[in-house]
Amino acid sequence: MATDDLDDEIHALLRREDQRYTKGRRALVATLRAEGQPVTIPQILDASDGLAQSSVYRNLVVLEEAGVVTRIVTNDDFARFELAEQFTHHHHHLICSSCGDVVDFSLDDQAEAGLDEALHDVAEQAGFTVEAHRLDLVGTCADCD
């Protein structure tokens, strides 16, 4: 997605929540976009220059509520953040239980479709309204092996 289109959509999502698309929020989005993988807040503070920690925490909450950003919580100390799937693509995560690193992966369409169908049945039977499904592989990454 082109930067301008992405910014327009984000602007719209934020406006829907009566929130502005400020400089700090733009910087956050730019950082997440540049990284392309889930990042922790310390990583964001290192990578982007001059952002205040409190604003980063606060703005990630705002962006998450607006549907711009997704929070990934693992057993690691820090939460991780990435652009929401609507700005990237549906995917899942490899979570290294040794170094804590989180990396995206995708399932092939057929497997994803099969999974979706099975989950749909489960949710229906449980009277559960599905917002999203989350699939992670937990183990050891190539670097840590």
Give residues in contact with its own copies (CB under 8 A): 71, 73-75, 94, 96-97, 103, 105, 107-108, 111, 114-115, 117-119, 122-123, 126-142, 145
Q: 29, 68 in Cβ contact below 8 A?
A: yes
CB of 23 to its own copies, least distance (A): 27
What distance in Å separates the CA atoms of residue 109 and residue 48, rounded to the nearest whole number? Answer: 35
Q: Which of these ranges, 51-59, 91-99, 107-115, 129-137, lies near DNA under the rule CB under 7 A?
A: 51-59
Q: Can you give 71-110 as a three-state secondary structure string?
A: EECCCCCCCEEEECHHHCCCCEEEEECCCCCEEEECCCHH
Helices 23-35 and 3-16 meet at what angle, rounded to 10? 130
Near Zn ion in 122-141, by CB under 5 A: 141
Question: 99 is in the binding site of which of Zn ion, DNA, its own copies, none (Cβ under 5 to 8 A by kind)?
Answer: Zn ion
Kind plus residue range of the DSSP H or E element containing 70: strand 69-72
Question: 131 is in the binding site of which of DNA, its own copies, Zn ion, none (Cβ under 5 to 8 A by kind)?
Answer: its own copies
Asked if 55 touches DNA (CB under 7 A), the answer is yes
Tokens linked to 33: 């976009």
Q: Please report, as ranges, the residues that interact with DNA according to CB under 7 A.
A: 18-25, 40-41, 50-55, 57-59, 61-62, 77-79
